[in-house]
Chain A
Amino acid sequence: MKTGCMGTFSLINRMKRCLYPRWKVIKNHPVPGFKPLLLLLVLLLGMMLLPGCFGMANVPKGWSGVVVVDEVLFVFSMEGKLVADNVTDGSRLWEVQLVESQSSGGLLGCAPASAAVAVYGSPAVSGNITYIGGYTGKVYALVFNRDEPRWVYPREGYLGAAIVGGLVVHQDEVYLATSDGMVMALNAADGYREWVCDEIGDKVWSTPVIEGNTLFIGSFDNKLYAIDINDGSKRWEFETEGAIVATPLVYDNTVYFGSFDRHIYAVDITSGEQVWKFPSSEEDEIIPGNWFWSKPVIYNGVLYAACLDGKVYVIDATSGRSTAGVDYYDLGSSISSSPVVVGDLVIVASEEGIVYALDTGDYQKRQLANLEEKIQAPLAAAQGMVFVHTAKDVLHTIDTETGAVRSFTLSNE
């Protein structure tokens, strides 16, 4: 059998000999209108293939953040691989490839029958088990250094709804939310479902947060929910005027979160009553210009909330008003990645790829690194370093003191 170029030409010639007589028949078909009708059928078939073949199916890739536990960092690559690296020297300790059996884009043939799992939330680690929620609706419990999962949920098939937020492990249970508005608790050891809360009115993309016996989570129905983790019953709900995608932050008996209505809210965790709202009225001088997508951080009683309008708003956590030092930092580019605190610095990354250090002492903004890659995944920090997973599936480690950058490609070269 001929190979390489000769083989290709031979195949083309054979196809020509096979197709040409048929083309002649079609060309000379006695029935008028036959050719346009045949063209129409071919175009319809093309339309069925188009979404997969030309990337119009918008295959989700994910933007997993990094988790650091005991000198090991865990991150999920955009090729569906859970990776565990040594924090100090970046050496690969373990990796496992996850594959889903249903295609996530395209209709006929162009999208593969099996595809890499897309993950948007950060992994959750407890002991030697890492928990991952896949976009197609499956939870995986992976044991360190093993290829096969300890368990998956559901055992067969998929949940029928995407998991976009991250998972949380708390007291031997794994908590997650799905895009059909379900919040559920699974037994961390064996994956059996403990309870499910179906009182949420719309899809959930945010990661749950747990404080005491209460789980807090936002939804596309404009509400923040407080759910009892013992039985999944709703304790209270708080309504805003926009969808809530940002992961909430709990601090000092108050839950802080941002909304698509361009406000930051502080709500009492026990009563569900509003403590304050920023800005407090439309007459305020400072009005955020876009959605709050990422989780805020708090340092020294001051809340730092990053917004898609490119600004990090600095708010007194008690009063809800701008601080005396600075109203906001303008990064000039949308911010969808959640910031982190390292020492007395708030590290934040803009979508265009620039990582900044905001000094909480003198209110100065300093460029730490320009990675020149899109950043949407949440940041992580450990041992004075910041971990950034970019949209090109590269993991960057930045030293916050020196600004030195180390980069590791997570995808196969």
Chain B
Amino acid sequence: MAIGDIWDLIILSPMINVLIVVSHYLGGSFGLTIIFLTIVIRALMYPLTMKQLKATKAMQSMQAQMQELQKKYSKDRQQLAQERMKLMKETGVNPFGCVLPLLIQFPVWIALYQSIIRVLAVAPEDFLNLSSGWEMVFSQVPLESTFLWLDLAAPDRFMILPILVGGTMWVQQKMTTTTSADPRQQAQSQMMLWMMPLMFAFLTMQFPSGLALYWVTSNIIQIVMQYFVTGWGGLRPSADGKKVPAEKKSTGRAVKEKAPLSADDISADIVETSPAREEELDYGNN
């Protein structure tokens, strides 16, 4: 059996069947069906999501300890990294925590994309293949492809969904963002805060709006869950209404800005060093 056949048998066909049957009971609305599917998937992922949110909350609570470490090992980046990892292990925080829920959803996204193409009669070959399924399934197709202003088989031509996807993802990221004394970590947080929403917004402009509807619904559910676990987090303004500033300005450089790089300095930016130079440096961990 080819990989494609296995994928069809285990993931895709069951998903198509479920979508069609649920659509039948939701008055033929495929948009509502996608929202329902999202809720079910998030419900199934609830334990994992809660674990991730609690880890996020723990990360937020140990910021004071992180800052202590930062002060103590400011000159020794490697030791600082080791102490941080040790602290995370002790408190049970997993740096992979935020990645795992997304990784698990990847096959869901791919299967949903393919399901949309089939049940909404986009490509004739795929649609014809539906006729070989259950009678209850093929008697319902093709499904209604319009939902509100959307054609679920095509990208949103009014660009509302890309904004919603990017916006909700930004809010979700912002709620988990913690201010850090480490300028590098702060820079990394800022990068992820903007890069992920922009990337998903771009994807939304390319893919069928049915898939984007899934993302928006999923993000909103995540935001609600996050609020009840971690509160508004990074979205919360400070007491005087201003943003909570970082304790140190993030410059990406050491305090002595003009100090030349030494052989022991492992804080060099990837982009700024040359391969030859990097080969000379000893990063430890050999």
Contacts and interface: CB of A to CB of B under 8 A. Distances in A.
Given A39-B99, A56-B113, A31 B184 contact: yes
A43 B4 CA distance: 20
Interface stretch (A46-54, A145-153, A402-410): A46-54
Give 8 nearest A-B pairs by CB, closest first.
A33-B95, A21-B278, A30-B81, A30-B77, A36-B99, A28-B283, A36-B96, A308-B131
A56 B279 CA distance: 41
A26 B142 contact: no
Interface in B94-119: 95-96, 98-99, 102-103, 106, 109-110, 113-114, 117
B81 A32 contact: yes
B275 interface: yes
Contacts of B121: 203, 205, 220
A164 B266 contact: no
Contacts of A61: 125
A376 B188 CA distance: 54
Contacts of B284: 28
B195 A41 contact: yes
Contact of A58 (B77, B126, B270): B126
B14 to A, nearest CB: 17
Interface string A81-106: 00000000000000000000000000
A338 interface: no
Contacts of B268: 25
Interface residues of B, number: 53
B142 A30 contact: no
A55 B199 CA distance: 22
B18 interface: no
A28 B124 contact: no
Interface in A9-44: 17-18, 21-22, 24-37, 39-41, 43-44
A205 B95 contact: no
Interface of B: 4, 77-78, 80-81, 84-85, 88, 95-96, 98-99, 102-103, 106, 109-110, 113-114, 117, 121-126, 128, 131-132, 135, 138, 142, 182, 184-185, 188, 192, 195-196, 199, 203, 206, 266-268, 270, 273, 275, 278-279, 283-285
Contacts of A50: 110
A164 B125 CA distance: 11
A56 B285 CA distance: 41
B275 A21 contact: yes
B138 A290 contact: yes
Interface string A261-292: 00000000000000000000000000001110
Main secondary structure of the interface of A (DSSP, over half): loop
Contacts of A41: 195, 199
Nearest to B284: A28
A21 B132 contact: no
Contacts of B81: 28-32
A334 interface: yes
Given A25-B278, A48-B203, A164 B124 contact: yes
Interface string A111-154: 00000000010000000000000000000000000000000000
A47 B106 contact: yes
Contacts of B84: 32
B213 to A, nearest CB: 17
Nearest to B146: A202
A24 B126 CA distance: 46
Contacts of A289: 135
B275 A47 contact: no
Given A22-B270, A203-B121, A290-B138, A28 B78 contact: yes
Given A21-B275, A56-B114, A31 B182 contact: yes
Contacts of A18: 275
7 contacts: A28-B266, A31-B185, A43-B106, A51-B113, A58-B117, A63-B125, A107-B206
Contacts of B96: 33, 36
A200 interface: no
A43 B117 contact: no
Contacts of A308: 131
B222 to A, nearest CB: 15
B106 A26 contact: no
B285 A28 contact: yes
Contacts of A243: 142
